[in-house]
Amino acid sequence: MLHKHSDTSLPEPMQNLNRGTLKLFLLMGPVLLATFLFSWSIFHSDLSKREAREGVPVVNMMRGGNPWLPQINPEQLRTKPPLFYWSGLLSSKIFGGVDEVSLRIPSVIAGAGTVFLTAYLGMRQFTPVIGCIAGLIIASCWRFAYLGSHARIDMLFTFFITLAFVAMWELARIEKQRTSLKWLAGIAIGLAVLTKGPLGLLFPLFAIFFFSRAVKFDVPWLHLFLLPLSMAGLWLVFGLIDGGKEFATMIQQETLGRITGNTSIQVHRKPFFYYLPQIFGGMAPWSLFLPFAIWYGIKDLRHNVPWKFCAIALATLFIFLSMFPGKRGDYLLPLYPMGAIILAIFFSQFGAANSGIKFSMLIPTWVIMGIMLILALLLVFGTLLPELNLDSYSAFINSRDRWMAQQLYHKHRPAALFLAAGALGMLIFSKYLREALYKKSGINLTGLLAGWALLLYLTVHGPAARVVNEYSSFRPFSEEIKKLSNGRPLFSRIKAREDLLYYLDLPVTDVNNEAPGPDALIIMKKEHSSDWLKHYPDQKIILEMNASFEPYQLIGKP
């Protein structure tokens, strides 16, 4: 049973907290599951455009490029601090070269580490069971599982943010603060800054400030400010020495420019409420329970100090990010650990002694059971209707995803026996979910949902990912260009894609509407080639990328 505290001042609330009991098998179970899931996914696809954006600077560093200035090419700086690229460089040196696996390993390690920290924090704040449930929840969130297996900055950033919160919680719960924890919190924030910039400093400091106003404790502000600023300052000094004015301009644009929404940089402008649907999609399937879990906490646990710590951290990041004009769903990843713990508390309290939350469990569980039924029907239709026209039933998704669904359905549909087994599996999961619901077993519900999500991810990130890769990878097209170029200069109409640059591994110059020279080869989208060939009739299509939704062509004089 969770403690409810009527007082929010130290030392009384902290004295009555769980003393941080840990159980190794409950702590490591979610970590091993996450490690398996994330590792399984890294072998089934080539780098995407956004992954290659992080991979190209690692290739340049591996070849002796400046380690302080991540670069796409000598004329273009990557607009992020260097820590993720250093981790990719270290991994690539260990594996003997830069490839998909070496670039994704840092995310796998950071993802498994974040699952460990989430389970650890849940155990220290509440009980071993709550910690284990929190670890299972975060490991099986859709976006977390995806980013834990892809070469992207967000997972490493989330790991350091979570580490800082774990250190700060340990400082808040003990009467005599340890110097080592102060240093750990400050260094973790500094590493977050070196991974993704100022947000790594602002987010934890704002959250800790608001928590310290609600629950009085001595915050080591000196360590939390000076250590991160010193670490970031050291990088800025070396960056200014090597990058000069170009580096200074980039730093100014990436800080003030993002706050003001400057159009000179790429800002994904979205409305204020953009993150509401994003958190529901990113934390699926658990996000259906999140509003009920938050309401339960506000109603019954608002004086519970550990719950308040998680709720303040979650709310701070959500509101803070919503105020910026540029938004992406991936930016919410650092709030997932706190959301997972809040959800774990909710599930753990679903039992005979807490039957009052049964209605809150009914709605999202029945929605998920409905989704399972719909998936079962789709699998049955896939068995019985091999010529189904998906365009008639998928107008609600974008054209790219609709096109890919058509390819998967008509060219790569699994055997009827496999589809029938999948439909039966959905019905079985739905049956046991209903039984767990009526038995009021939050632990059984958690296990069933995590198992269901795990099987879906193993399928989507495995066989399905390999098929999608055939239609989205730029590796085959790039390899054919390398064979045909034979030393001829390469150009790209408009800006070259990073995955093209990564797999091509040759110099490519951007051009607009002027032919660069008689020997030049120009890479462009198929939709642009007809106008180009009208202006330059002496040039021909030499090579075409047929598999992609937006095919590219290689054009030049034969």
DSSP 22-45: --HHHHHHHHHHHHHHHHHHTTS-
- Domain extents in the chain: 12-262+273-348, 352-472, 475-556
Count Cα atoms within 13 angstroms, Cβ side, for 179. 0
**Tokens 């509101």 correspond to what residue?**
319
Burial of 381: CB neighbours in 10 Å, binned 0-12, 13-18, 19+:
middle
How far apart (Å, rounded) are the C-alpha atoms in residues 280 and 287?
5
Confidence class for position 2, pLDDT limits 50, 70, 90? low
Residues 6 or more apart whose Cβ sits within 8 Å of residue 386? 413
Residues 6 or more apart whose Cβ sits within 8 Å of residue 445? 347, 350, 361, 365, 433, 436, 437
DSSP letter at 256 equals I
Confidence class for position 5, pLDDT limits 50, 70, 90? very low
Torsions phi, psi for 485 (to 5 deg): -65, -40
DSSP 70-90: -EEETTEE-SS-SHHHHHHHH
What pLDDT is recorded for position 387? 66
How far apart (Å, rounded) are the C-alpha atoms in residues 201 and 186?
9
Q: Output the average pLDDT for the chain.
A: 86
Residues 6 or more apart whose Cβ sits within 8 Å of residue 323? 272
What pLDDT is recorded for position 11? 37
pLDDT at 445 over 70: yes
Confidence class for position 111, pLDDT limits 50, 70, 90? very high
What pLDDT is recorded for position 27? 92
How far apart (Å, rounded) are the C-alpha atoms in residues 475 and 472?
9
Least confident interval from 4-13, 28-37, 134-143? 4-13
pLDDT at 174 over 80: no
pLDDT at 75 over 90: no
DSSP 105-143: HHHHHHHHHHHHHHHHHHHHHS-HHHHHHHHHHHHT-HH
Least confident interval from 88-97, 147-156, 386-395? 386-395
What pLDDT is recorded for position 73? 74
Helix, strand, coil tally for the chain in percent (to 5): 70, 5, 25
**Relative orientation angle of helices 221-252 and 199-214, to the nearest 10 degrees:** 150
How far apart (Å, rounded) are the C-alpha atoms in residues 430 and 358?
18
If one counts every other C-beta atom within 10 angstroms of the C-beta of residue 22, the result is 12
pLDDT (average), residues 164-174:
91
Residues 6 or more apart whose Cβ sits within 8 Å of residue 58? 85, 88, 89, 92, 98, 103
Torsions phi, psi for 263 (to 5 deg): -75, -10
pLDDT at 121 over 80: yes
Q: How do residues 512-557 score in pLDDT, each as one tens digit?
A: 877 788 888 999 988 888 888 888 888 999 999 877 778 899 999 8
Q: How do residues 369-387 score in pLDDT, each as one tens digit?
A: 999 999 898 888 777 766 6
Residue/partner pairs of 373-378 with CB below 8 Å, 24 or more apart: 373/426, 373/427, 373/430, 375/422, 375/423, 375/426, 376/422, 376/423, 376/424, 376/426, 376/427, 376/430, 377/423
Least confident interval from 102-116, 313-327, 342-356? 342-356
Percentage of the chain with pLDDT > 90?
51
Q: How do residues 7-21 score in pLDDT, each as one tens digit?
A: 333 334 444 456 656
pLDDT (average), residues 195-199:
91
Partners of 541 in the β-ladder: 555
Residue pair 156/106 in contact by the 8 Å Cβ criterion: yes
What pLDDT is recorded for position 7? 37
pLDDT at 252 over 60: yes
Residue pair 139/33 in contact by the 8 Å Cβ criterion: yes
What pLDDT is recorded for position 355? 53
What pLDDT is recorded for position 557? 87
167-196: burial string, b at 16+ Cβ within 10 Å, e else: bbbbbbbeeeeeeebbebbbbbbbbbbbbb
What pLDDT is recorded for position 558? 80
How far apart (Å, rounded) are the C-alpha atoms in residues 152 and 130?
29
Give the 3-state secondary structure of 431-460: HHHHHHHHCCCHHHHHHHHHHHHHHHHHHH
Query: Which of 212-221, 222-231, 465-474 shows the highest mean pLDDT?
Result: 222-231
Q: How do residues 469-523 score in pLDDT, each as one tens digit?
A: 888 899 999 999 999 988 899 999 878 888 999 999 888 888 887 778 888 899 9
Tell me the CA distances in angstroms from 64 to 59, 68, 235, 292, 412, one per residue in order. Answer: 9, 11, 18, 53, 43
pLDDT (average), residues 444-449:
94
pLDDT at 165 over 80: yes
